[in-house]
């Protein structure tokens, strides 16, 4: 079994779910007392958040490169960046180490393609929804049409994620806001909705959404386990 390296802490609310998914998936595939071989380095999210809002992405990239090198030294055979938004600087990771890097958007694109969908909505932070580091992979590599919520809904998602979810606050009212946004996206033709923030699946049950949702945390972890057991 190969060793999975994780850069976590963005936020730790979803990083702990990564760890749970990896171990449950390995156990389910191998049975018995098997669990995932993994190493985790975790950052202080307050620092990452401040640099994000000040637009200092180079500083974040340098921090991610440092963490990737730690995983390399610890014997990781694969690196996961346990967040959607910070993939904006994933090039710093791939330049810092030769350890294979699994991009969350690529894993998600494969999952959508397997479902035969062509038009999907993307929910996440404003950085993920408004920048092209995520959508260009989905469009260019998988031929998907990506729908983005309107400005007010993007603001609402940003507020819910940074003021509540990353702090472990999960409100019924916020869940309903997200479900309403997904419903609007369905009315615009979306066949599915990407939960493009690793905390969103903790808030939004797939069974309650108007269209199928793609849990990027679970998808990302699943592809890592496939690699580890290959």
Burial of 140 (0-12, 13-18, 19+ CB in 10 A): exposed
Residue pair 217/106 in contact (Cβ under 8 Å)? The answer is no
Is there a catalytic annotation at residue 108?
A: no
Residues 228, 230: Cα–Cα separation, whole Å: 6
**Catalytic pick among 83, 125, 128, 198:** 83
CB 120 within 8 A of CB 149: no
Nearest to 157 by CA among 132, 129, 183: 129
**216 counts as catalytic:** no
For residue 151 the two structure tokens come to 């400005």
The token pair at 197 is 């923030």
Beta bridge partners of 7: 41, 81
Catalytic residue among 38, 82, 178, 197: 197
Residue 123: beta bridge partners? Answer: 195
Catalytic residues: 83, 197
């Amino acid at each position: 079994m190969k060793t999975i390296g994780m850069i976590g802490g963005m936020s730790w609310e979803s990083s702990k779910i990564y760890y749970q998914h990896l171990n449950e998936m390995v156990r389910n595939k191998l049975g018995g007392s098997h669990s995932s071989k993994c190493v985790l380095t975790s950052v202080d999210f307050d620092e990452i958040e401040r640099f994000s809002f000040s637009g200092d992405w180079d500083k974040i990239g340098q921090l991610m490169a440092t963490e990737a090198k730690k995983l390399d030294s610890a014997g990781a055979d694969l690196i996961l960046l346990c967040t959607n938004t910070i993939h904006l600087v994933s090039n710093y990771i791939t330049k810092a180490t030769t350890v294979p890097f699994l991009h969350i958007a690529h894993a998600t694109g494969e999952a959508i393609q397997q479902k035969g969908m062509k038009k999907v909505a993307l929910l996440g932070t404003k950085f993920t929804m408004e920048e092209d580091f995520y959508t260009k992979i989905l469009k260019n590599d998988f031929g998907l049409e990506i729908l983005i919520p309107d400005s007010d809904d993007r603001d609402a998602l940003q507020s819910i994620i940074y003021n509540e979810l990353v702090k472990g606050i999960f409100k019924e009212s916020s869940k309903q806001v997200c479900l309403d946004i997904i419903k609007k996206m369905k009315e615009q033709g979306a066949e599915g909705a990407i939960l493009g923030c690793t905390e969103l699946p903790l808030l939004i049950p797939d069974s309650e959404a108007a269209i199928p949702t793609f849990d990027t945390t679970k998808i990302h972890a699943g592809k890592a386990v496939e690699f580890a057991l290959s």
